[in-house]
């Protein structure tokens, strides 16, 4: 009986992990709703702040989706890559400024710390730095 339960659990785990790759794309509205609720929980946002953040994120997610779709069709030259990255950074700066207007000082500080932690986690998972190798074969030292 124990083996049957263990086998069932293993099968369920494998089935769920196989389905993970087929995730449904959320709409910008859905993503904004979920993200604003997460922020409300972490930052103790008021209802008004949560609505403002949701509207801001919805616009940002819609713009990002539009840009991603246009990138699929476009040629990926170096100039184009620079322009895309520059535009992305400009959007991030604008988003940060808007959030600073919506959040109080303490909430904004907590949000920034959370962003820094997320960035550090992404860097640690980056495939470019595994095994001591850096991007394009460059080594520090």
Domain boundaries, the chain: 26-123
Q: Which residues contact 12 (CB under 8 A, 6 or more apart)?
A: none
Q: Per-residue pLDDT tens for 55-78?
A: 999 999 999 888 888 777 766 676
Handedness of CA 122, 123, 124, 129 (dihedral sign): positive
In the chain, the N- to C-terminal Cα span, in Å, equals 58
**Among candidate residues 38, 86, 82, 36, the one with its CA nearest the CA of residue 59:** 36
* Closest by CA position to 54, among listed 41, 30, 40, 36: 36
Res 3: pLDDT: 55
Q: Which residue has the higher pLDDT, 127 or 129?
A: 127
Residue 7 to residues 2, 20, 30, 31, 126, Cα–Cα distance (Å): 9, 20, 36, 36, 34
- Structure-block tokens of residue 94: 């604008």
Q: Is the pLDDT of residue 52 over 70?
A: yes
- Per the model's pLDDT, the better-predicted residue between 113 and 13 turns out to be 113
Per-residue confidence (pLDDT) for residue 69, from 0 to 100: 82
Alpha helices in the chain (DSSP H): 2-19, 28-43, 47-73, 78-102, 105-125
Contact partners, residue 88, CB within 8 Å, separation at least 6: 67
pTM above 0.75, yes or no: no
pLDDT in tens, 19-43: 555 567 899 999 999 999 999 999 9
Q: Is the pLDDT of residue 95 over 80?
A: yes
Nearest-angstrom CA–CA distance, 54 and 31 = 9
Using CA atoms, how far residue 85 sits from 1, 60, 76, 101, 134, in Å, is 57, 15, 12, 25, 20
Evaluate if residue 141 carries a pLDDT over 50. no
């Amino acid at each position: 009986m124990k083996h049957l339960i263990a086998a069932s659990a293993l099968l369920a785990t494998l089935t769920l992990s196989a389905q993970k790759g087929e995730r449904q794309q959320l709409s910008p509205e859905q993503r904004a709703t979920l993200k604003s609720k997460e922020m409300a929980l972490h930052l103790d946002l008021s209802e008004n702040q949560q609505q403002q953040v949701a509207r801001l994120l919805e616009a940002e997610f819609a713009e990002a989706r539009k840009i991603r779709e246009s990138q699929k069709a476009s040629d990926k030259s170096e100039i184009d890559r620079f322009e895309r990255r520059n535009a992305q950074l400009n959007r991030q700066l604008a988003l940060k400024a808007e959030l600073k207007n919506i959040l109080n000082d303490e909430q904004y500080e907590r949000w920034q710390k959370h962003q820094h932690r997320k960035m550090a986690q992404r860097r640690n998972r980056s495939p470019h730095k595994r095994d001591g190798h850096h991007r394009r074969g460059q080594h520090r030292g």
